[in-house]
Amino acid sequence: MSAPAAKARQTDVLLEASEWFAVLHSGHVAVADRQRWNDWLGEPGSPQRQAWAQVERIGQRFGTIDDGAARSTLQRRAGTASGSRRHALRALSVIGSTGLLAWSGSQTGVWENWRADCATATGEIRELTLDDGTRLWLDTHSAVKVAFTDRLRRIVLLRGDILVTTAGALPGRAKDTRPLVVDGDHGRMRALGTRFSVRQRSLDTLLAVFDGAVEVSPAQGNASRIVSAGEQVVFTADGIGHSQTADLARQAWSQGLLVAADMPLATFIAELARYRPGHLACDDGVAGLRLTGVYPLRDTEQALAAVALALPVRIRHRTRWWVTVEAA
């Protein structure tokens, strides 16, 4: 199967999973429906089961929804060899209106929210000032826990991205000499009078230092390293990668901006997708186009409109929750 055909099939399977979710959580499920759903799931490890698991994770955030459009779509699908994409999208518009397809390839983060002192929703950017005067920004879909003791100032990054600017002496107080650390899944970062950003991903963490320095200690590694201003590193629980020049534009999200400097369109769209619910992607035929400019993160529709003016592309809205950038 060609790459475009495989991508189209993946989309179809996700749509089918969304339709089944609507039916099974409607409160009016016939025995025949459950049997057909079991038949549709197929063997363990099938694409249908993978899509179902993804939709079910997202769907746990929502209550009962009207199953009418989805059920009728499934009935029509059962009477044809492959079903109608038009009918599927009609059902999807109902499901999407509840936010079911606001998945963006990410996990729900419910557990992190329970643990967090502060968390942001998709598309939200928040600035905090901690008790010691440290300024902390949380990017979209991020969560932290703050634990200050007499001996340590500790920020636990539960998910997402943060930007940290450490404080000098506050008026009427001596300079705070307690170590300031950020703990994440892959290790500890100790601030040495600094401004730095941290992006925690599933397999690694990206640290960029813009001022001062940060000491990095992997969770399971024996050696630490000091990362100086103007440098960035990727590290895992086992070790630290080579230093690279820090991308100063990585700070721009704290001001609600996405800075593209000769950026591949696919990279830009993947970044913008983090700030909106639903599915946002670009076709392979335009993925390699290069983009330069400054775009708003708080209004992703405006950002997409600007992209369409800058490049030979169009923005196709299948539904509010399913958007594709394709050749004009």
Three-class DSSP labels, the chain: CCHHHHHHHHHHHHHHHHHHHHHHCCCCCCHHHHHHHHHHHCCCCCHHHHHHHHHHHHHCCCCCCCCHHHHHHHHHHHCCCCCCHHHHHHHHHHHHHCCCCCCCCCCCCHHHHHHCCEECCCCCCEEEECCCCCEEEECCCCEEEEEECCCCEEEEEEEEEEEEECCCCCCCCCCCCCCEEEEECCEEEEEEEEEEEEEECCCCEEEEEEEEEEEEEECCCCCCEEEECCEEEEECCCCECCCEECCHHHHHHHHCEEEEEEEEHHHHHHHHHCCCCCEEEECCCCCCCEEEEEEECCCHHHHHHHHHHHCCEEEEEEECCEEEEEEC
State the pLDDT confidence band at 93, using cuts at 50, 70 and 90. Answer: very low
Considering just the CA atoms, what is the radius of gyration of the chain in Å?
23
pLDDT at 106 over 50: no
Residue 303: give its domain's CATH number.
3.55.50.30
* 105 located within any domain: no
The count of structural domains within the chain is 3
pLDDT given for residue 102 in this prediction: 42
pLDDT confidence of 200, banded at 50, 70, 90?
very high
Q: Are 208 and 297 contained in the same domain?
A: no
Same domain flag for 276 and 307: yes
Q: What is the pTM assigned to this prediction? A: 0.66
Cβ-proximal residues to 281 (8 Å cutoff; 6+ apart), any chain:
269, 273, 323, 324, 325
Q: Are residues 172 and 82 in the same domain?
A: no
- pLDDT tens track for 52-63: 776 665 444 333
Answer yes or no: is 102 within a domain. Answer: no
Of 74, 97, 120, which one is at a domain's C-terminal end? 97
- pLDDT confidence of 6, banded at 50, 70, 90? low
What CA–CA distances, in Å, run from 106 to 31, 100, 109, 302?
Answer: 32, 13, 8, 23
Give the Cβ contact number of residue 21 at 10 Å.
24
What pLDDT does residue 88 have? 42
Share of the chain above pLDDT 70, in %: 71
Amino acid 266: pLDDT: 97
Residue 261 and residue 311 in one domain: yes
- For residue 48, pLDDT over 60 is answered with yes
Output the average pLDDT for the chain.
80
Tell me, yes or no, whether 11 and 87 share the same domain: yes
Question: What's the sign of the alpha-carbon dihedral 107, 111, 112, 113?
Answer: positive
The backbone region for 230, taken as left when phi is positive above 0, alpha when psi lies in -120 to 50, beta otherwise, is left
Domain assignment present for 42 = yes
22 in Cβ contact with 65 (< 8 Å): yes
* 141 & 161 share domain: yes
User: Does residue 67 sit within a domain?
Assistant: yes
pLDDT in tens, 217-273: 999 977 899 999 999 999 999 999 999 999 888 888 998 999 888 899 999 999 999
* Domain end marker among 46, 75, 97: 97
Among candidate residues 228, 250, 272, the one where a domain is terminated: 250
User: Is the same domain home to 174 and 244?
Assistant: yes
**pLDDT exceeds 50 at position 114:** yes
Q: In degrees, to the nearest 5, what angle opens at C-alpha 133 toward C-alphas 161 and 114?
A: 45
In a domain, 309, yes or no: yes
Q: Are residues 131 and 236 in the same domain?
A: yes
49, part of any domain: yes
Indicate if 138 and 76 belong to the same structural domain.
no
Same domain, 177 and 201: yes
Please check the confidence at residue 146 and state whether its pLDDT lies above 80: yes
User: 172: pLDDT confidence band, cut at 50, 70 and 90?
Assistant: low
Asked whether residue 205 is domain-assigned, the answer is yes
Burial grade of 202 (CB within 10 A; 0-12, 13-18, 19 or more): exposed
Of 53-62, 189-198, 272-281, least confident by mean pLDDT is 53-62
Neighbours of 14 (CB within 10 A): 23
What does the block give as tokens for 163? 């930007």
Together in a domain, 39 and 133: no
Residue 38: inside a domain: yes
With contact defined as beta carbons under 8 Å apart, do 275 and 294 qualify? no
CA 81 to chain centroid: 35
Expressed as residue numbers, the domain containing 58 is 3-97
| Residue 47 clears pLDDT 80, i.e. is over it | yes
Residue 198 and residue 235 in one domain: yes
